[in-house]
Amino acid sequence: MDNRRDFLKKSALVSAGLAVPALSSCACLDTIRAKVPMKTRQVNSALVVWYSQTGNTRRYGRLMAKTMQKQGVKVTACDLREADLGKIGEYDLLVVGSPVFYYDAPEYVQQWVGSLPVLAGMPVAAYVSFGGPEGNQYNAACSILERLVQKQGVPVAQKAFMNLGSYPLSWAGDKINKTPWKHHSLPDRQTYGQVREYARYVLQQVAKGQPAEFSKKLTLREISTYFGPIWWTKRSIEKHYLMEDQCIACGTCEEKCPSGAIDLADYSVNREACVLCFGCLNNCPAQAVYMQYDGTRLIGFQEFLKAKKIKILEPAELKS
Ligand SMILES: Cc1cc2nc3c(=O)[nH]c(=O)nc-3n(C[C@H](O)[C@H](O)[C@H](O)COP(=O)(O)O)c2cc1C
Protein backbone atom coordinates (compact mmCIF):
# COMPACT_ATOMS: atom_id res chain seq x y z
CA MET A 1 0.00 0.00 0.00
CA ASP A 2 1.21 3.50 -0.80
CA ASN A 3 2.36 5.56 2.13
CA ARG A 4 1.06 9.08 2.54
CA ARG A 5 4.04 10.70 0.87
CA ASP A 6 3.70 8.58 -2.25
CA PHE A 7 0.02 9.37 -2.33
CA LEU A 8 0.67 13.11 -2.11
CA LYS A 9 3.37 12.85 -4.74
CA LYS A 10 1.10 10.96 -7.11
CA SER A 11 -1.81 13.36 -6.54
CA ALA A 12 0.45 16.33 -7.28
CA LEU A 13 1.78 14.71 -10.44
CA VAL A 14 -1.69 13.73 -11.67
CA SER A 15 -3.00 17.26 -11.03
CA ALA A 16 0.05 18.67 -12.74
CA GLY A 17 -0.43 16.31 -15.70
CA LEU A 18 -4.02 17.45 -16.08
CA ALA A 19 -2.93 21.05 -15.96
CA VAL A 20 -0.30 20.77 -18.71
CA PRO A 21 -2.63 21.38 -21.66
CA ALA A 22 -4.35 24.25 -19.88
CA LEU A 23 -1.10 25.93 -18.94
CA SER A 24 0.59 25.35 -22.28
CA SER A 25 -2.22 27.14 -24.02
CA CYS A 26 -1.65 30.34 -22.06
CA ALA A 27 1.48 32.28 -22.83
CA CYS A 28 2.65 32.37 -19.21
CA LEU A 29 6.29 31.43 -19.78
CA ASP A 30 7.58 34.69 -21.21
CA THR A 31 11.12 35.13 -22.45
CA ILE A 32 13.34 36.74 -19.87
CA ARG A 33 15.22 39.51 -21.62
CA ALA A 34 16.69 42.88 -20.79
CA LYS A 35 14.32 45.83 -20.80
CA VAL A 36 17.05 48.46 -20.71
CA PRO A 37 20.62 48.73 -22.12
CA MET A 38 23.53 47.36 -20.09
CA LYS A 39 25.01 50.18 -18.04
CA THR A 40 28.65 49.07 -18.32
CA ARG A 41 31.00 46.64 -20.03
CA GLN A 42 33.69 47.04 -17.42
CA VAL A 43 33.31 45.25 -14.09
CA ASN A 44 35.41 47.03 -11.49
CA SER A 45 33.27 46.03 -8.55
CA ALA A 46 30.79 43.21 -8.07
CA LEU A 47 28.33 42.15 -5.42
CA VAL A 48 27.92 38.40 -4.96
CA VAL A 49 25.10 37.49 -2.58
CA TRP A 50 23.55 34.22 -1.58
CA TYR A 51 20.83 32.69 0.50
CA SER A 52 22.15 29.51 2.03
CA GLN A 53 20.69 27.24 4.70
CA THR A 54 23.32 24.53 4.90
CA GLY A 55 26.34 26.16 3.29
CA ASN A 56 26.34 24.78 -0.26
CA THR A 57 25.21 27.94 -2.03
CA ARG A 58 27.46 30.02 0.20
CA ARG A 59 30.50 27.92 -0.71
CA TYR A 60 29.86 28.47 -4.42
CA GLY A 61 29.28 32.19 -3.93
CA ARG A 62 32.53 32.59 -2.03
CA LEU A 63 34.42 30.65 -4.69
CA MET A 64 32.94 32.83 -7.44
CA ALA A 65 34.01 35.90 -5.47
CA LYS A 66 37.59 34.60 -5.12
CA THR A 67 37.73 33.83 -8.84
CA MET A 68 36.54 37.31 -9.77
CA GLN A 69 39.02 38.86 -7.36
CA LYS A 70 41.81 37.02 -9.18
CA GLN A 71 40.60 38.79 -12.34
CA GLY A 72 41.13 42.14 -10.63
CA VAL A 73 37.50 42.77 -9.63
CA LYS A 74 36.72 44.26 -6.22
CA VAL A 75 34.10 41.89 -4.82
CA THR A 76 31.75 42.13 -1.88
CA ALA A 77 30.47 38.65 -1.07
CA CYS A 78 27.88 38.07 1.62
CA ASP A 79 24.58 36.58 2.72
CA LEU A 80 21.86 38.57 1.01
CA ARG A 81 20.55 39.72 4.38
CA GLU A 82 23.85 41.50 5.02
CA ALA A 83 23.98 43.39 1.72
CA ASP A 84 23.67 47.16 1.96
CA LEU A 85 20.79 47.81 -0.43
CA GLY A 86 21.45 51.54 -0.39
CA LYS A 87 24.82 50.94 -2.06
CA ILE A 88 23.75 48.46 -4.72
CA GLY A 89 23.78 51.10 -7.46
CA GLU A 90 27.55 51.48 -6.94
CA TYR A 91 28.32 47.99 -8.27
CA ASP A 92 28.93 47.05 -11.91
CA LEU A 93 27.59 43.51 -11.49
CA LEU A 94 25.19 41.66 -9.21
CA VAL A 95 25.25 37.87 -8.80
CA VAL A 96 22.48 36.19 -6.80
CA GLY A 97 22.82 32.61 -5.55
CA SER A 98 20.10 30.43 -4.08
CA PRO A 99 19.31 26.81 -3.30
CA VAL A 100 16.41 25.18 -5.12
CA PHE A 101 13.58 24.52 -2.67
CA TYR A 102 10.45 22.74 -3.85
CA TYR A 103 11.41 23.05 -7.51
CA ASP A 104 11.87 26.81 -7.37
CA ALA A 105 13.91 29.61 -5.87
CA PRO A 106 12.63 30.08 -2.29
CA GLU A 107 10.04 32.79 -1.83
CA TYR A 108 12.45 34.49 0.55
CA VAL A 109 14.99 35.03 -2.24
CA GLN A 110 12.32 36.24 -4.62
CA GLN A 111 11.08 38.72 -2.03
CA TRP A 112 14.62 39.96 -1.44
CA VAL A 113 15.08 40.63 -5.16
CA GLY A 114 11.68 42.34 -5.13
CA SER A 115 12.94 44.65 -2.37
CA LEU A 116 15.92 45.89 -4.42
CA PRO A 117 16.06 49.45 -5.72
CA VAL A 118 15.95 49.98 -9.49
CA LEU A 119 19.12 48.47 -11.00
CA ALA A 120 19.14 50.78 -14.04
CA GLY A 121 20.90 48.48 -16.50
CA MET A 122 23.22 46.69 -14.07
CA PRO A 123 24.42 43.32 -15.45
CA VAL A 124 22.97 40.51 -13.34
CA ALA A 125 23.59 36.78 -13.10
CA ALA A 126 22.04 33.97 -11.07
CA TYR A 127 23.13 30.55 -9.90
CA VAL A 128 21.41 27.84 -7.92
CA SER A 129 22.70 24.89 -5.97
CA PHE A 130 20.50 21.84 -5.95
CA GLY A 131 20.31 18.37 -4.54
CA GLY A 132 18.92 16.07 -7.18
CA PRO A 133 19.12 15.53 -10.91
CA GLU A 134 15.51 16.42 -11.68
CA GLY A 135 14.78 19.38 -9.48
CA ASN A 136 13.66 22.04 -11.99
CA GLN A 137 16.91 23.94 -11.42
CA TYR A 138 17.01 25.80 -14.72
CA ASN A 139 13.57 27.26 -14.09
CA ALA A 140 14.48 28.12 -10.50
CA ALA A 141 17.44 30.18 -11.71
CA CYS A 142 15.12 31.76 -14.31
CA SER A 143 12.77 32.82 -11.49
CA ILE A 144 15.58 34.84 -9.96
CA LEU A 145 16.55 36.45 -13.27
CA GLU A 146 12.92 37.21 -14.01
CA ARG A 147 12.67 39.28 -10.84
CA LEU A 148 16.02 40.93 -11.46
CA VAL A 149 14.87 41.97 -14.93
CA GLN A 150 11.76 43.54 -13.37
CA LYS A 151 14.22 45.67 -11.41
CA GLN A 152 15.94 46.69 -14.67
CA GLY A 153 18.83 44.28 -14.26
CA VAL A 154 20.35 43.04 -17.54
CA PRO A 155 20.69 39.23 -17.49
CA VAL A 156 24.02 37.84 -18.67
CA ALA A 157 24.09 34.26 -17.39
CA GLN A 158 22.61 31.60 -15.15
CA LYS A 159 23.88 28.24 -13.94
CA ALA A 160 22.95 25.34 -11.66
CA PHE A 161 25.50 23.44 -9.58
CA MET A 162 24.73 19.94 -8.36
CA ASN A 163 25.19 19.31 -4.69
CA LEU A 164 24.42 17.14 -1.75
CA GLY A 165 20.69 17.36 -1.05
CA SER A 166 19.75 18.91 2.26
CA TYR A 167 16.13 17.75 2.27
CA PRO A 168 15.59 15.67 5.42
CA LEU A 169 12.67 13.71 3.98
CA SER A 170 15.08 12.14 1.52
CA TRP A 171 16.85 10.33 4.37
CA ALA A 172 13.84 9.93 6.65
CA GLY A 173 13.34 6.81 8.74
CA ASP A 174 15.17 3.70 7.62
CA LYS A 175 15.98 5.31 4.27
CA ILE A 176 19.10 6.63 5.94
CA ASN A 177 20.55 3.14 5.88
CA LYS A 178 19.16 2.22 2.51
CA THR A 179 19.97 5.36 0.56
CA PRO A 180 22.52 4.50 -2.14
CA TRP A 181 24.97 7.36 -1.83
CA LYS A 182 26.40 6.90 -5.26
CA HIS A 183 23.29 8.64 -6.58
CA HIS A 184 24.02 11.71 -4.57
CA SER A 185 26.57 14.15 -5.71
CA LEU A 186 29.12 15.67 -3.41
CA PRO A 187 30.88 18.73 -4.77
CA ASP A 188 34.30 17.68 -6.10
CA ARG A 189 37.18 19.29 -8.00
CA GLN A 190 35.16 19.21 -11.18
CA THR A 191 32.24 21.02 -9.56
CA TYR A 192 34.53 23.72 -8.27
CA GLY A 193 36.11 23.96 -11.72
CA GLN A 194 32.64 24.66 -13.12
CA VAL A 195 32.04 27.36 -10.52
CA ARG A 196 35.31 29.13 -11.37
CA GLU A 197 34.55 28.83 -15.07
CA TYR A 198 31.09 30.31 -14.52
CA ALA A 199 32.54 33.29 -12.64
CA ARG A 200 34.91 34.00 -15.54
CA TYR A 201 32.12 33.49 -18.08
CA VAL A 202 29.92 36.07 -16.33
CA LEU A 203 32.72 38.65 -16.53
CA GLN A 204 33.32 37.84 -20.20
CA GLN A 205 29.65 38.27 -21.08
CA VAL A 206 29.62 41.71 -19.49
CA ALA A 207 32.83 42.64 -21.31
CA LYS A 208 31.15 41.65 -24.59
CA GLY A 209 28.12 43.75 -23.66
CA GLN A 210 26.05 40.73 -24.54
CA PRO A 211 22.75 40.34 -22.64
CA ALA A 212 21.36 36.80 -22.52
CA GLU A 213 17.79 35.62 -22.98
CA PHE A 214 16.12 32.73 -21.20
CA SER A 215 12.74 31.05 -21.30
CA LYS A 216 11.39 28.85 -18.57
CA LYS A 217 10.63 25.32 -19.68
CA LEU A 218 7.15 23.96 -19.22
CA THR A 219 7.85 20.86 -17.12
CA LEU A 220 5.73 18.85 -14.74
CA ARG A 221 7.87 20.05 -11.87
CA GLU A 222 7.40 23.64 -12.91
CA ILE A 223 3.67 23.14 -12.94
CA SER A 224 3.75 21.46 -9.55
CA THR A 225 5.10 24.74 -8.10
CA TYR A 226 1.65 26.20 -8.78
CA PHE A 227 0.03 23.62 -6.51
CA GLY A 228 1.46 24.64 -3.15
CA PRO A 229 4.14 21.98 -2.64
CA ILE A 230 5.11 23.46 0.73
CA TRP A 231 1.53 23.36 1.97
CA TRP A 232 1.13 19.76 0.86
CA THR A 233 4.41 18.61 2.35
CA LYS A 234 3.70 20.41 5.61
CA ARG A 235 0.59 18.30 6.01
CA SER A 236 2.78 15.21 6.15
CA ILE A 237 4.92 16.57 9.00
CA GLU A 238 3.19 15.22 12.09
CA LYS A 239 5.13 17.10 14.77
CA HIS A 240 7.37 20.16 14.78
CA TYR A 241 8.46 21.71 18.07
CA LEU A 242 11.49 22.75 20.12
CA MET A 243 12.65 20.58 23.02
CA GLU A 244 13.18 23.06 25.81
CA ASP A 245 15.26 20.71 27.98
CA GLN A 246 17.66 20.02 25.11
CA CYS A 247 17.91 23.57 23.72
CA ILE A 248 21.12 25.51 24.42
CA ALA A 249 19.53 28.82 23.39
CA CYS A 250 22.22 29.52 20.76
CA GLY A 251 19.64 31.23 18.52
CA THR A 252 20.66 29.34 15.36
CA CYS A 253 17.12 28.17 14.60
CA GLU A 254 15.70 31.68 14.95
CA GLU A 255 18.44 33.08 12.77
CA LYS A 256 18.03 30.44 10.05
CA CYS A 257 14.23 30.69 9.95
CA PRO A 258 13.30 32.95 7.01
CA SER A 259 9.69 33.40 8.10
CA GLY A 260 10.09 34.37 11.77
CA ALA A 261 8.22 31.20 12.78
CA ILE A 262 10.48 30.42 15.75
CA ASP A 263 10.45 32.31 19.02
CA LEU A 264 13.02 31.14 21.53
CA ALA A 265 11.49 33.34 24.21
CA ASP A 266 8.76 30.75 24.64
CA TYR A 267 10.25 27.91 22.55
CA SER A 268 7.38 28.14 20.10
CA VAL A 269 7.16 27.17 16.45
CA ASN A 270 4.43 28.89 14.49
CA ARG A 271 3.56 26.12 12.09
CA GLU A 272 1.30 28.36 10.00
CA ALA A 273 4.17 30.75 9.31
CA CYS A 274 6.74 27.96 8.80
CA VAL A 275 7.81 27.56 5.15
CA LEU A 276 9.24 24.10 5.76
CA CYS A 277 12.79 24.94 4.74
CA PHE A 278 14.19 22.72 7.54
CA GLY A 279 16.72 25.44 8.39
CA CYS A 280 16.04 24.89 12.11
CA LEU A 281 16.35 21.11 12.01
CA ASN A 282 19.27 21.11 9.58
CA ASN A 283 21.38 23.47 11.68
CA CYS A 284 20.52 22.91 15.35
CA PRO A 285 23.79 21.95 17.10
CA ALA A 286 21.93 20.40 20.05
CA GLN A 287 19.32 18.28 18.24
CA ALA A 288 16.64 20.25 20.04
CA VAL A 289 14.33 20.55 17.04
CA TYR A 290 11.82 17.74 16.95
CA MET A 291 10.14 16.98 13.65
CA GLN A 292 8.22 13.84 12.94
CA TYR A 293 7.30 12.36 9.60
CA ASP A 294 5.62 9.04 8.93
CA GLY A 295 5.90 8.05 12.59
CA THR A 296 9.65 8.63 12.86
CA ARG A 297 11.80 11.49 14.06
CA LEU A 298 13.65 13.36 11.31
CA ILE A 299 17.33 14.09 11.61
CA GLY A 300 18.99 17.21 10.26
CA PHE A 301 21.72 17.72 7.68
CA GLN A 302 24.61 17.94 10.17
CA GLU A 303 23.63 14.73 11.92
CA PHE A 304 23.07 13.10 8.57
CA LEU A 305 26.61 14.00 7.45
CA LYS A 306 27.95 12.52 10.69
CA ALA A 307 25.86 9.35 10.40
CA LYS A 308 27.08 8.77 6.85
CA LYS A 309 30.66 9.93 7.64
CA ILE A 310 30.42 12.42 4.78
CA LYS A 311 33.02 15.16 4.59
CA ILE A 312 32.46 17.94 2.10
CA LEU A 313 35.56 18.90 0.16
CA GLU A 314 36.44 22.60 0.45
CA PRO A 315 37.87 24.33 -2.63
CA ALA A 316 41.52 25.26 -2.18
CA GLU A 317 40.82 29.01 -2.24
CA LEU A 318 38.51 28.74 0.76
CA LYS A 319 40.73 26.60 2.96
CA SER A 320 42.77 29.42 4.45
C1 LIG B 1 13.19 22.29 1.89
C2 LIG B 1 14.09 21.82 0.81
C3 LIG B 1 13.58 21.64 -0.48
C4 LIG B 1 14.43 21.23 -1.51
N5 LIG B 1 13.92 21.08 -2.77
C6 LIG B 1 14.74 20.76 -3.80
C7 LIG B 1 14.25 20.67 -5.13
O8 LIG B 1 13.08 20.90 -5.40
N9 LIG B 1 15.13 20.35 -6.12
C10 LIG B 1 16.45 20.10 -5.86
O11 LIG B 1 17.19 19.80 -6.81
N12 LIG B 1 16.95 20.18 -4.61
C13 LIG B 1 16.13 20.51 -3.57
N14 LIG B 1 16.63 20.63 -2.30
C15 LIG B 1 18.09 20.45 -2.07
C16 LIG B 1 18.79 21.79 -2.00
O17 LIG B 1 18.49 22.59 -3.13
C18 LIG B 1 20.33 21.60 -2.00
O19 LIG B 1 20.72 20.74 -0.99
C20 LIG B 1 21.04 22.93 -1.88
O21 LIG B 1 22.39 22.74 -2.28
C22 LIG B 1 21.00 23.52 -0.48
O23 LIG B 1 21.71 24.73 -0.46
P24 LIG B 1 22.26 25.39 0.87
O25 LIG B 1 23.21 24.41 1.51
O26 LIG B 1 22.98 26.61 0.41
O27 LIG B 1 21.11 25.69 1.73
C28 LIG B 1 15.80 20.99 -1.25
C29 LIG B 1 16.30 21.17 0.05
C30 LIG B 1 15.46 21.58 1.07
C31 LIG B 1 16.01 21.77 2.46
User: Per-residue pLDDT averaged across 283-291, rounded?
Assistant: 97
- The answer, yes or no, to whether residue 173 has pLDDT greater than 90, is no
pLDDT at res. 9: 55
Does 54 or 163 have the greater pLDDT score?
54
CATH code that applies to domain 9-224: 3.40.50.360
As a whole number, the mean pLDDT across the chain is 90
What DSSP letter does each residue of the chain carry, written as one string? ---HHHHHHHHHHHHHHHHHHHHHHTT-S-EE--SS--S-S--SEEEEEE--SSSHHHHHHHHHHHHHHHTT-EEEEEEGGGS-GGGGGG-SEEEEEEE-BTTB--HHHHHHHHTSPP-TT-EEEEEEEESSTTS-HHHHHHHHHHHHHHTT-EEEEEEEEE-----GGGG-TTHHHH--GGGSPPP-HHHHHHHHHHHHHHHHHHHHT----EE----HHHHHGGG-HHHHHHHTEEEEEE-TTT-----HHHHH-TT--EETTTTEE-TTT-----HHHHH-TT--EEEEETTEE---HHHHHHHTT--PPPPGGGT-
pLDDT at res. 25: 40
To test the ligand 1 pocket, which listed residue (79, 100, 256) has its Cβ within 8 A of the most ligand atoms?
100
- Say yes or no: CB of residue 192 within 6 Å of ligand 1: no
User: Per-residue pLDDT averaged across 18-46, rounded?
Assistant: 77
pLDDT at res. 2: 42
Decide if 173 contacts 43 (C-beta within 8 A): no
pLDDT band at 164; cut points 50, 70, 90: confident
Surface-to-core class of residue 48, CB atoms within 10 Å of its CB (0-12 exposed, 13-18 middle, 19+ buried): buried
Decide if 278 contacts 245 (C-beta within 8 A): no
pTM: predicted TM-score of the whole model, two decimal places: 0.91
The full set of domain ranges for the chain reads: 9-224, 230-307
Angle at alpha carbon of residue 206, lines to 203 and 211, rounded to 5°? 130
Percent residues over pLDDT 90 in the chain? 75
Q: How far is the CA of 90 from the centre of ligand 1 (A)?
A: 32
Phi-psi region of 95 (alpha: psi -120 to 50; beta: other; left: phi over 0): beta
The closest residue, in CA terms, to atom 22 on ligand 1 is 99
User: Per-residue pLDDT averaged across 220-236, rounded?
Assistant: 90
In this structure, CATH architecture of domain 230-307 = 2-Layer Sandwich (3.30)
The closest residue, in CA terms, to atom 30 on ligand 1 is 167
- Say yes or no: CB of residue 55 within 6 Å of ligand 1: yes
pLDDT band at 107; cut points 50, 70, 90: very high
User: Per-residue pLDDT averaged across 207-213, rounded?
Assistant: 96
- The answer, yes or no, to whether residue 30 has pLDDT greater than 90, is no
Decide if 168 contacts 282 (C-beta within 8 A): yes
